[in-house]
Amino acid sequence: MSPPPATSSPPLMIEARALGFTRRDEDVFGPLDFALRGGEIGLIEGDNGSGKTTLLRVLAGLLRPGTGTVQVLGAQPGSEEARASTIIMGHLLGLKADLSALENLRIGMGLYGRAADANPDAILARVGLDGYANEAVRDLSAGQKKRVALARLALLPARLWLLDEPYANLDRHGIALVNDLLAQHAAAGGAALVTSHGAVNFHQGVTCTVRLAA
Amino acid sequence: MLPVLYAIIVATLFPFALGPEHALLARIAGGVVLVTVLLAMLLALDNVFRGDLDDGALEQMLLSPQPLSVLLAARMLAYWLVTALPLLLVAPILAYMLGLQPAVQPVLLLALLLATPLLALLGIVLTALTAGTRRSGMLLSLMLLPLAVPIVIFAAGAVGAAQQGLPWIAPLAWLAAALALALVLAPLACATALRIALDT
Amino acid sequence: MNAFKLWYHKLGSPPYFYVFAGYIQPWLWTIAIVLALLGLYGGLVLAPPDALQGDAFRIIFVHVPAAWMSLFVYGVMAVSAFIAVIWRPKMAEVLAMESAPIGAAFTLIALITGSLWGKPMWGTYWTWDARLTSELVLFFIYLGIIGLYHAFDDPRQGARAASFLAMIGAVNLPIVHYSVVWWNTLHQGTTVRYFGPSSIAPSMLWPLLLMTIAAKFYYGASLMGRSRVALLDRERGKDWVADEVRGGDVHG
């Protein structure tokens, strides 16, 4: 599960020990042990209802862990240190429909800051939204909305990405784009945890798999 | 603009219900305008977090490294600017149509200027508490009523005193003191309420 | 001290509390009923009619304890709510939320008996008297707390949100009371004073005190019963509930 210890291992991004979550006294996911370091991409596998989204929300600090402990960048999930370097992309993308793609990116930068060499226009072009910068998000297709969210991901300085079904709604090029962004993020020392229900299109560089039983 | 329209409709109905007798309308004008403005603000309160909750923007706000209370303070200011400020603009017109003496108009406006931000601050704290529930309009009115009672009493008290030519500063000073306190505490309470309601 | 701490922690665990509450509940009921019967006998039979109000005053033996309890229960609820919000123990949530309907019932009784008393005293069932108005607002606060609790799918989440509302209400309540008193004196025309400077006779006082204490024991008994039911419902997935239910079943 975890890679062999290197001579100078990159920093721990997530460390979960016997992490479990219960909702109304029913176990959502059982005790989990896993660790994710900088430069690693983790995959969360499991069927519908196995608690993938819940796990990501616990790691983001949106839900309190039920049992066990979990640390994100050495801090409690949801603490200020953890929030500064974590970003979650869920089923709800968190884009304001009335604002343009560019304005939505600006909101993200206002809340999180901006990665060192990132430029909103260049990133919009990279995700294939050249010419859509001033289009209201309401008028974009589902796939294009997803691309705006991906652009935000690349634009912000978060080191840990929590991606819930990032491939949903995307065409072949979009899937390649996600893989591309992930590879680049890992190369820069970031880490990502990605959920998928079974059939995934992701091959390269998965270094850790967390399997959830339904 | 919906709250403004709503306030105009409600205020217009009063003369039809009570008769066009000038003295009676003039006596209740201040109170009618105050209650009307309060109800119109309540109308928009339920939507304060609804949109952000539905599209996931609220989660992004919760998870950003910025202090949540500051973000919520901005949200409160925005709500007041969008909902209460237009109401403040039509309130003198409504009061005039109901026959409030022109000399009392400044007192009414001052009372509204203090009461509406107070209502906005307290109302949004309560709205945050209901953020995790599905439909909350009626519940929100029930929750807000006990908090609104002192505000209405002091605001209407000042207007009533001014109508009778009595000193009206004291109740407004109480409102101002409550507003100063709420400006500091409400954003913090709202952040706590939101985290409770969304279970983080 | 250590024994007390241990007992406190034990009481915080639902199965232990369930057994403990089941044990003391009959005692609380017995004391409440005995005291209430004594108090009612003293108040309705032994106490002489009032010089001014005749027999109408006898409603105070219900009205006054209910009005006191409406605030007392709120106090207990607010303290439990505070603990529930800050430290999140399950039992504090249960006690706060199960107190709310009892408090609302006491408030409603105080309102109804108050207005019944108002008819012979003021000639009307309702007047915007400062105390009655405050009591009415208190009733709305209770309803808001109960409503918010039930608006959530998850009872624990609902309990925490409603507890926070109870804390806001605790701050708001004195403000409401003083603003209503001020409002009432402002509009002198409608004020009716119903308590003169008269002191209460001992023959009326002891039944009143008995009724008040009976009401407190009734609250305790009712709270224990409600909490037991709430615990069974909330913990229905747990083993101890299954054991409890099976143990009570004759066919086992």
ipTM of the complex, rounded to two decimals: 0.93
Residue C235: other Cβ atoms inside 10 A: 20
Residues of chain C with Cβ-Cβ distance to B133 below 8 Å are 148, 151-152
Which residue in A has a C-alpha nearest to residue C155's C-alpha?
A24
> Hunting for tokens 């229960």 — which residue is that?
C73
Which residue in A has a C-alpha nearest to residue B56's C-alpha?
A94
Helices assigned H by DSSP within chain B:
2-18, 22-45, 50-55, 57-63, 68-79, 85-97, 105-129, 137-163, 169-197
Would you say B179 and B119 are in contact if contact means Cβ atoms under 8 Å apart? no
**In the sheet that A41-45 helps form, which strands lie side by side, from edge to edge?**
A86-89, A160-163, A191-196, A41-45, A206-211
- Flag whether C187 is in a domain: yes
CB atoms B143 and C183 under 8 Å: no
CB atoms A88 and B63 under 8 Å: yes
CB atoms C237 and A25 under 8 Å: yes
Cα of B111 vs its chain's centroid, Å: 11
List C-alpha distances in Å: A103 to A7, A131, A134, A156.
44, 14, 8, 14
Of B126, B132, B153, the CB nearest to C180: B153
Is C237 at the interface with chain A, CB within 8 A?
yes
Is C239 at the interface with chain A, CB within 8 A?
no
CB atoms A95 and B57 under 8 Å: yes
Separation between Cα atoms, residue A214 and residue B90, nearest integer Å: 58
Which residue in B has a C-alpha nearest to residue A64's C-alpha?
B200
Residues of chain B with Cβ-Cβ distance to C154 below 8 Å are 199
What are the backbone dihedrals phi and psi of residue B195, each rounded to the nearest 5 degrees, phi first? -65, -35
Residue B62: other Cβ atoms inside 10 A: 20
How many distinct structural domains can be found in chain C?
1
Look at residues B171, B173, B138 and name the one whose alpha carbon lies nearest to residue B155. B171
CB pairs under 8 A between A and B: 55
- Crossing angle of helices C155-186 and C60-87, rounded to 10°: 130
Which residue in A has a C-alpha nearest to residue C154's C-alpha?
A24
CB pairs under 8 A between A and C: 11
The confidence score (pLDDT) of residue C53 equals: 76
The residue range of the domain holding C217 is 25-192+201-233
Touching B (3+ Cβ pairs <8 A), the chains are A, C
The confidence score (pLDDT) of residue C193 equals: 46
CB atoms A24 and C154 under 8 Å: yes
Query: Closest approach of chain B CAs to the CA of C35, in angstroms?
Result: 35
- Which phi-psi region, left, alpha or beta, contains residue C211 (left: φ > 0; alpha: ψ -120 to 50)? alpha
| SS3 of residue A194 by DSSP | strand
Which residues 25-84 of A have a C-beta within 8 angstroms of C? 25-26
pLDDT tens readout for residues A137-177: 999 998 899 999 999 998 998 889 999 988 888 888 888 88
**Burial of residue C42 (number of CB atoms within 10 Å: 0-12, 13-18, 19+):** buried
Residues of chain C with Cβ-Cβ distance to A23 below 8 Å are 154
pLDDT tens, chain C, 252 aa long:
577 777 777 778 888 999 999 999 999 999 999 999 999 999 888 888 877 777 888 888 999 999 999 999 999 999 999 999 998 888 999 999 999 999 999 999 999 999 998 888 888 888 888 888 999 999 999 999 999 999 998 898 999 999 999 999 999 999 999 999 888 877 654 444 444 445 677 788 889 999 999 999 999 999 999 999 999 988 887 888 888 877 755 443
Query: Closest approach of chain B CAs to the CA of C163, in angstroms?
Result: 10
Would you say A147 and A129 are in contact if contact means Cβ atoms under 8 Å apart? yes
The confidence score (pLDDT) of residue B179 equals: 97
CB atoms B142 and C152 under 8 Å: no
Look at residues C73, C228, C63 and name the one whose alpha carbon lies nearest to residue C132. C63
Look at residues B187, B138, B146, B150 and name the one whose alpha carbon lies nearest to residue C168. B146
Which run of H or E residues covers position A15? strand A12-23
Separation between Cα atoms, residue B29 and residue B24, nearest integer Å: 9
Residue C22: other Cβ atoms inside 10 A: 13
Which run of H or E residues covers position C61? helix C60-87
Would you say B26 and B100 are in contact if contact means Cβ atoms under 8 Å apart? yes
Best probe of the C interface among A25, A27, A63, by most C CBs < 10 A, is A25
- Flag whether C250 is in a domain: no
pLDDT tens readout for residues B102-150: 999 999 999 999 999 999 999 999 999 998 787 777 899 999 999 999 9
Is A112 at the interface with chain B, CB within 8 A?
yes
Task: Mark the ranges of chain A whose per-residue pLDDT is less than 70.
Answer: 1-8, 25, 197-207, 213-214
Residues whose CB falls within 8 Å of the CB of residue A119, separated by 6 or more in sequence, listed in order: none
Query: Closest approach of chain C CAs to the CA of B199, in angstroms?
Result: 7
CB atoms C154 and A23 under 8 Å: yes
CB atoms A97 and B61 under 8 Å: no
Query: Closest approach of chain B CAs to the CA of C185, in angstroms?
Result: 11
CB atoms B132 and C186 under 8 Å: no
| B55-64, B180-189, C181-190: the lowest-pLDDT one | C181-190
- Average pLDDT estimate for B158-185: 94
Residues of chain C with Cβ-Cβ distance to B145 below 8 Å are 137, 140, 144
CB atoms B59 and A94 under 8 Å: yes
The confidence score (pLDDT) of residue A63 equals: 86
